[in-house]
Every structure is written in C-alpha cells, then in structure tokens.
Amino acid sequence: MRLTNAQIAEFEELGYLFLPSLFSPEEMAILNAEVPGLLAQRREEVVREKGSEAPRTAFYVQTWNEVFARLARHPKLVEPGFQLLGSEKLYMHQFKINAKAAFDGAVWQWHQDYATWFNDDDMPAPRAMNIALFLAEANEFNGPLMFIPRSHRRGRLAAGHDVTTTSYPLWTVDNETITRLVAEGGIVAPKGPPGSVLMFHGNLVHASGSNLTPWSRWIVYLSLNRCDNAIRRFKRPAWIANRDFTPIEMLPEDCLLDYARQRRTAAE
C-alpha cells in the first residue's frame, strides 16, 4: 500500500499521519482473537504494570505468534515505512502490543522514542519510525496517544531517564520543555476504531494518560529502522531492542485472511 504525495507531505509537516479503518473488521477479528491469550502468558516478554498484574506491554510477539508474525510483514504497514524512511531495506527494531488495560493502564510519560533508541541502543540517526495499528478503539476516555504536532522538527531533545514512574524505564522530556512545545504546536489525540493506523516520526513528542475506563486500549507497534542505521549497543534484551538486522520481506495483502482460511481448512 503506497502513500500519496499529499500523505507523505502531511507526515513530514506534522510528524504523524492517521489513516482510520485501514484494516477490515475481518482482519481485526483474526488479530484480536489472539490478544487475550498473549497478554495472559507468563514470560519475560510480557511486562506488567508497576504494583499490578495488569499487562502493560507484550514484546517481540511476532516471534512467538503466527498471526502477528504475518502482521509484522503486512504491506499496509511496511510499505509506507519504505516510503517515509527512504529505503526498502528496513528491519524491525521493536515489535510490541501496548495493552493500556481497562481500569489499570498506567501513563506513558512525555517522550521521544528516538531518545531511548539513541541513549539505550546507540541508534546512529533518527531514521526510524513507529507504525501503530489500533487493535481496540481509541477514544477520548481510555488513554489515547497524544502528540505535539511538528515537535519532531526540534530534533532530539534533552531527556532524563525515568526509572521510577512506571514499570518500563523511559527517557522523558521535562515539563518546562513540554509547556513550551505545546504553546507552539498544541496537542492532538487521534482517535478511531479498530483497524486504524498511526504513523509517526521517531522524534515526535508524545504521551498517553492512564486508563480509568472499562475499555482496554490495545495498540500494536512496529518500530521500523533502516538497515544502514542499525543499533550499535546491545545492553537491552534482544526482545526489546532487536539484534537481527535482516530486511523485512513483505507478504501479500491478504496474509491475515489467508491464515484464517488455512485454519478453517485444517479444522474441516
């Protein structure tokens, strides 16, 4: 799936692009049937909220679940990355499902993802990005992602290492800087149904609030990086910062539906 010139220009101007309902209800049903079982697993890749049994993030899922292995190579997600990053040789720096569980989903502080990729992983340049697929509805109540438009144009900002607020250490931007950026660019919170896709720059400043609602806000993230921009430090586990720099090879656009067909055939 190729983006138009207008969509590419919007991404470059604002730092993000939102495409509502890009995946069909049938595809989302296939993905969502897997999620409760994934989040319930007791394994190191499934991080839980601080002081709670609620799941926060399930990492590296594409290596231990066939459906998400296919999603990680889906052309609706990968091909736009080729265009926006200017290369057809991309690898999966990180793959995760952020759960934001009903009632218990905690905050993600204001941050730039590239700050973590730079400070923890020694990624040479911000030639990486996130492509996020809403597995569940994101609305104004259940902790939607908040972006500061055009903040990616400021480059990598000074960040402090917050290891206490949540169960996941993060390089965060201070309140004074956020106040200044918001005064200049405002805040947006793209919302939409399952199947919607958000693409955003590695330097775009973003956050999300806690989820006090009975509606979990599941989002799967592909953090794509150019193969010629591979990380040079390996202090984080491979399931958080991937060390396999093999270029992604796309599957056909019907890869999720084909999986469901194969399962039905095998059951008959």
- Best CA proximity match to 33, nearest among 75, 67, 74, 62: 67
Q: Which two tokens stand for residue 236?
A: 């984080």
Domains and CATH numbers, the chain: 5-267 (2.60.120.620)
Q: 3-class DSSP state for residue 201?
A: strand
Q: How does pLDDT run across 21-65, given as a tens digit for each residue?
A: 999 999 999 999 999 999 999 999 999 999 889 999 999 999 999
- Global model pTM greater than 0.85: yes
CA distances from 76 to 24, 33, 256 (A): 12, 20, 12
Q: How does pLDDT run across 119-177, given as a tens digit for each residue?
A: 999 999 999 999 999 999 999 999 999 999 999 999 999 999 999 989 889 999 999 99
In contact, 96 and 47? CB cutoff 8 Å: no
- How far, in Å, CA of 109 to CA of 165, rounded? 9
- How far, in Å, CA of 171 to CA of 163, rounded? 9
- How far, in Å, CA of 118 to CA of 212, rounded? 32
Q: 3-class DSSP state for residue 161?
A: strand
Q: What is the mean pLDDT of the chain?
A: 96
DSSP β-bridge partners for residue 199: 17, 131
Report the pLDDT value the prediction gives residue 265, as an integer from 0 to 100.
Answer: 87
